[in-house]
Amino acid sequence: MFIKKPENHYRVVIVGSGPAGLSLAQRLSRNGHSGILVVESGQLEYDQKQNHLGQIEAQGDLPSSYFQQHSPRLFGGASALWGGFCAVLEERNFSEGLWPFPYTEVSRYYADAATILELPDSAWQKRIVPIDNSDDIVYRPFYLSPPVRFGEKFLPLASESESFSVLTGHTITRVNVDDGRVRNLNIADQDGHEIQVSADFCVLAAGGIQNARLLQLSNLGGQHCGKHFIDHPHIYGYGKIMVNKAIVNASRQTSGRRVDALQLSDAFCIRHKIPSISVMLNDGRDDRGLADAGDGMLQLNVDILGEMASGGSNRIYLSANHDDWLKQAYTAIDFQFDYRSALKKAWLLFGEALLRSGLGRVSSYSDDYSLTGGGHMIGTTRMGRSLADSVVDVDCKVHGTEDLYVSGSSVFPSGGSVNPTFTLVALAVRLAEHLSTRLKT
């Protein structure tokens, strides 16, 4: 139910009502748990005053407005802007040790995530399709959620549920931790009045920027908090390729609305020590994809979704400037793609592999292009094995705490060359199962 004023104590407090926060709340509720509070800084509709709290001062390749646009404060979070693109993270991210657990640990939650995102079974069963006569290139479908707007999808449940409450128009300003345990959280209303609420467990699910900022405001998270920030470079209209019917045959093994794409295989990327690129072949505006292409060669315009290396110098930190009414530091961001040389190498190897396979060939490309991002805020509270390399552990629990967790793409140690929503929802379901076990003890 939606409430105006919180109680003094909850079993679980979830900060943020985007895909991660609402997926977590829904799953905990379904598992029979109650006493859950979801705190959302925004309102049911866009509220200018509340969104002013998300002011960002950026320098580098992307303007401040870019980061603010992709970090809205409202019920449903960034799903209000989401295009619906979903793909399973490439397995090599796990086999190369970038993540602190194997691929199987997240893959078993993709089916549940597909249900939440209203995707076909192919979305997790046919994450890639091998192509005849090629070990170096695979068919990679990007499945399209309707897209699910979490604020709309979960509004009836949030309004009627007796197991979890939603508090909108209230902002968590600090998480107070003593001896490794969350003592309480400071919550400010729209007039700037603060109250404190305690919880057995707290989960930050406020997005890749605000998760890091809130930890920094609370002097938590260690030296890696806010660092290792990555997005996905997007290059639209990068070039043209010729492909033959083998691609059509691969696409016919899938179902549902999708965007057809080609990728260099995991083994190829590992062998050549390169980041992958997703070569997008169509815009997915109908159900046919490439299946109606016939038997001849096709010339296709392609867009590129690239992969940034993890562990770079991009970072989020607290600005010297403060907001007008909560008197808290704004977010400052340093961000550079540093991607052009990586793209050139990956594209050259992709073209050679395409020609070698007999699948087709690159017919044109341009060095005169613009880089933009996908609004994917990844890596700022990365997962790892200790404070020496990360912010949260394998269970997404903040190092050095017993009951403070983080959910969302901010925990990703790497981003691959696929959109993050499918994986972040799968990890939210995984976290719900972990918390369900702890709530029973």
Residue 345: CATH number of its domain: 3.50.50.60
Rounded to 5 degrees, φ, ψ at 342 are -65, -40
pLDDT greater than 50 at residue 292: no
Which helix H or strand E contains 23, and what residues bound it?
A: helix 19-30
Provide mean pLDDT across the span 237-256: 86
Question: Residue 285: what pLDDT?
Answer: 45
Which helix H or strand E contains 159, and what residues bound it?
A: helix 155-160
Q: What dihedral do alpha carbons 340, 344, 346, 350 form, nearest 10°?
A: 150
Provide mean pLDDT across the span 137-164: 95
What would the DSSP string read from start to end of 281-332? Answer: -----SS-TTTT--SS-EEEEEEEEE-PPSS-S-EEEEEEEE-SSS--EEEE
Can you give the residue range of the structural domain that contains 254? 9-439
Domain-located, residue 3: no
Domain-located, residue 4: no
Contact predicate 239/365, CB 8 Å = yes
pLDDT greater than 80 at residue 300: yes
Rounded to an integer, what is the distance from CA 101 to the centroid of its chain? 18
Provide mean pLDDT across the span 8-28: 98
Domain-located, residue 1: no
Question: Residue 284: what pLDDT?
Answer: 45
> Could you report the per-residue pLDDT of 322-366, keeping only the tens digit for each?
987 899 999 999 999 999 999 999 999 999 999 998 888 998 888
- What's the burial of 200, exposed, middle or buried (CB within 10 Å: 0-12/13-18/19+)? middle
Provide mean pLDDT across the span 414-436: 98
pLDDT greater than 60 at residue 276: yes
Question: Residue 295: what pLDDT?
Answer: 58
Q: What is the mean pLDDT of the chain?
A: 93
Domain-located, residue 178: yes
Contact predicate 31/436, CB 8 Å = yes
Domain-located, residue 55: yes
pLDDT greater than 80 at residue 248: no
Tell me which residue of 45, 44, 35 sits closest to 14, measured CA to CA.
35
Question: Residue 151: what pLDDT?
Answer: 97
Question: Residue 298: what pLDDT?
Answer: 80
Largest CA distance in the chain: 68
Local structure of residue 74 (DSSP, 8 states): B
Provide mean pLDDT across the span 237-254: 85
Residue 290: pLDDT band by 50, 70, 90 thresholds?
A: low
Provide mean pLDDT across the span 119-144: 93
Which helix H or strand E contains 13, and what residues bound it?
A: strand 9-15
pLDDT greater than 70 at residue 288: no
Question: Residue 37: what pLDDT?
Answer: 98
pLDDT greater than 90 at residue 299: no
Polymer length in residues for the chain: 441
Local structure of residue 135 (DSSP, 8 states): E
Contact predicate 74/42, CB 8 Å = yes
Tally of structural domains, the chain:
1
Domain-located, residue 85: yes
